[in-house]
Structure 1
Amino acid sequence: MSTTPAAGATAVPPLFQGLFDDAAVFPPGNLPVAEAVPAHRAHRAAPYADAVGPLLCGAGRLGELAAAADAAGGTAADGTGPRLRVGLVLPGGSSELGPALTAAAPFAVAGVELATRDAHEAVAALDLLLPPDVPAAVELPRELLRGDGLEEVLDVLVDSPYRAKFRTGGVVAGAFPDEAEVAGFLTGCAQRGLPYKCTAGLHHAVRHTDPATGFEHHGFLNVLLAAAETDPKAAAEILAERSGAVLAEAVRALTDRQVTVIRNSFTAFGTCSIAEPLDDLAALGLLSPALTPQEDR
C-alpha cells in the first residue's frame, strides 16, 4: 500500500505528506527564533521535506522572525533568499489579522490560525482581510465546544471556506481533552465534511502516558485513523488504542481512497519536534529510515 514504504523507498507516503507543521518556537519546545529558522530550512531541504508544513509563528514575533530569516540567508524583502513559508498563529483574535498580514509581507504566508470566541466574527474578518489564496483555520476555546456549542461552531465553519482547529494538548494536564471530547470534534467535522487541523500534544504516533508529567497524550496515528469515523464511539475506541503494532497494521490496510478521505479531513498538526514523529513512524515500519533526520539515526 502507499502507506507502507517498500524496501529502500525514499518517498514520503501520502498519508504523512505535509502533516507536520513546524511549531518549534512554541511550548514545550520553545526553540529560539534565531535557531528555528535555519532548522526549518534544513527540514525543507531534507529527504523528508514533503512531510513538513510551514514554520508557525505567533503574531507578536514576526519582526523577530524577519530578522532571523535575514540573518539565516535572506527573505523575499531583500531579494537574496527564498521566501520562508510561514503559518500565522493569532491567539489575540481578529484584531491581530490585519497587522499580522502586513508584518508577514517578507514571507510566503501558507496559512492563518485565528483564535476567537465568536466564529461568526472570525469568519467575517477573514472574509474581509484574508487574501483568497491563503487558507485559514478558526479555533475556539474548548469550553465553547461542549454540548450544543460544538454543533453551532461547526455549522458556522462548514458554510465558510475555513477549517476548524482543535487543541489536543498543552503544558498542563487540563489542556488534554479525553477520547470522548476529541471523538466528538472529529466526528462532528466528518459528518459535515469539514476539514480541520490539530495542535499541541501530538508529537508521538501512539497514545501514551508521558512518564515525566503523567499527562495522557493522544497519538497522531490514532487521530489519523479516527478521522474518517462518523460514529463517536468508534472514533473514541481508536483514540484509546495504545498498541503501535495494532495502529501500524490498520494504517497498512488503508486504501488509497481512505487515505484521501482522512487527509481531506485531518490536514495537519503543529509539532514542536519534526524528528520525533518521523522517528516514531520509522520505528513502526511506516516510513523509511532514510526519511528521518540524519542526526537522529
Structure 2
Amino acid sequence: MSTTPTTAGAVVPPLFQGLFDDAAVFPPGNLPVAEAVPAHLAHRAAPYADAVGPLLCGAGRLGELAAAVGAVTGTAAGGTGAVSADGTGPRLRVGLVLPGGSSELGPALTSAAPFVVAGVELATRDAREAVAALDLLLPPDVPAAVELPRELLRGDGLEEVLDVLVDSPYRAKFRTGGVVAGAFPDEAELAGFLTGCAQRGLPYKCTAGLHHAVRHTDPATGFEHHGFLNVLLAAAETDPKAAAEILAERSGEVLAEAVRTLTDRQVTVIRNSFTAFGTCSIAEPLDDLAALGLLSPDLTPQEDR
C-alpha cells in the first residue's frame, strides 16, 4: 500500500485519519479557549479535517467552552446553536479530559450536554474503580480511555492494569511527555506499554510530547521526544525489544519508507491499537508528514504555506 498521496484530489491516508486530537488548550500550547474554538472549527472545515479528532477540554472549562463557541457563532452560550460550527450545523465534538478522576465524571457529562461527547479520558489510581464508574455513568455510545500514573504501571502493575482494561469496553491511555524531562518515558518503558496492549488486543491513546513525527531531542529543552511515526510503527509489535528499536529510530527517511511499505491490513491493525493522541498543535504533525512525503502539501494548514 502506498501512503504517499497525489496532489490532485488529495485525501488523508487511513493511517493518519482521526489520529490528531486537538489539545490546543493544554500545556505546552495553553491556547486560550476563546482562540482554540475558532481554530478548531477552522481545522474541521479544512481539507485535512479527516486527520483531526475532537477538541479536548478539561471538566472545569466546559462553561468557558460553551461561551467561546457562542461568541464565535453569535448565539447564546446555553442554546443548541452555540455549539454548532456555523450556528446551524453539527454540534461541536468534544473529548472530556478528567484529571480529577471518577468524581468528575457525572458533573462533566451534565455540563457537556450541549456538545457531542466524542470521548472521555479518565485519570485514576484505581483501574477497577474507574471501570465501575464508567460502566455506571457513561452512555454506551461514548468511548472512554483510562489513564493511571506511570509509577503504577511499572513491573507487575502494568500487567494488572491492562488485564483489568482488556475485560472492559475501554481503552488505555498513556502519557508520553510533558513539561519536565521526567514526564517522558524511555523507549523500554513505552515499548512495554505498547506491546502489553498489543498482546491483549487492547486499544489505547497517547498524550503529550508527540507533536513531531520522528524521535528527536528538543533543542530548547534537551528533552527526548518520541515520534508519532515511531509509535505507529511500533504499535503492531508484541516483542518489547523490537518495539524499543523502532521507538529509538531517528531517521525520518527510514520511518517514512517503513510507512510506505505497510499493507492495508497492517494499517488496520496499527490503528485498531493506537487510536489517537492529543497534540496542542495540529499544524506541526501535518507539516512533518508533508516534509516526509507522506501527506500532500495541500493537506497542511494554509498559513504554513
Give the alignment's TM-score, normalised by structure 2.
0.94
Give the drift of 1:3. Answer: 1.8
Q: Deviations over 1:120-163 (max 9, x none)?
A: 00000000000000000000000000000000000000000000
Query: How many pairs does the alignment contain?
Result: 297
Q: CA deviation at 1:8?
A: 2.9
String of CA shifts for 1:50-94, please: whole Å, max 9, x gaps: 000000000110010011195799746997553100000000000
Structure 1 pair 170/52, CA: closer, same or farther in 2 (3 Å)?
same
Q: Which 5+ residue runs of structure 1 have no aligned equivalent?
A: none
Aligned pair 1:70/2:75, yes or no? yes
Q: Distance in 2 between matches of 1:138 and 1:5?
A: 35
1:247-273: CA deviations, max 9, x gaps?
Answer: 000000000000000000000000000
2:75 partner SS: helix
Whether contact under 8 Å (1:73, 1:80) holds in the other structure is: no
- What per-residue deviation string (whole Å, max 9, x for no partner) do you get for residues 202-252 of structure 1? 000000000000000000000000000000000000000000000000000
| Contact persistence 1:112–1:134 (CA under 8 A) | yes
How far apart are 1:7 and its partner, in Å?
4.5
State the distance in 1 between where 2:33 and 2:112 align: 15
Contact 2:66 2:78 in 1 (8 A): no
Shift of 1:5: 1.1
Alignment-derived partner of residue 107 in structure 1 = 115
* Unpaired segments ≥5 residues, structure 2: 69-73
Cα deviation digits, residues 33-53 of structure 1 (max 9, x gap): 000001000000000000000
TM superposition shift of 1:282: 0.1
Residue in 1 that maps onto 2:21: 21
Match among 174, 177, 187 for residue 166 of structure 1? 174
Residues 18, 258 of structure 1: alpha-carbon distance in 2 compared, 3 angstrom cutoff? same
Q: 1:176–1:257: structure 2 CA closer, same or farther, 3 Å change rule?
A: same
RMSD (CA atoms): 1.8
Evaluate the alpha carbon distance shift between residue 38 and residue 176 of structure 1 in structure 2; reply closer, same or farther with a 3 A threshold.
Answer: same
Shift in Å, 1:9: 4.5
Match of 2:216 in 1: 208
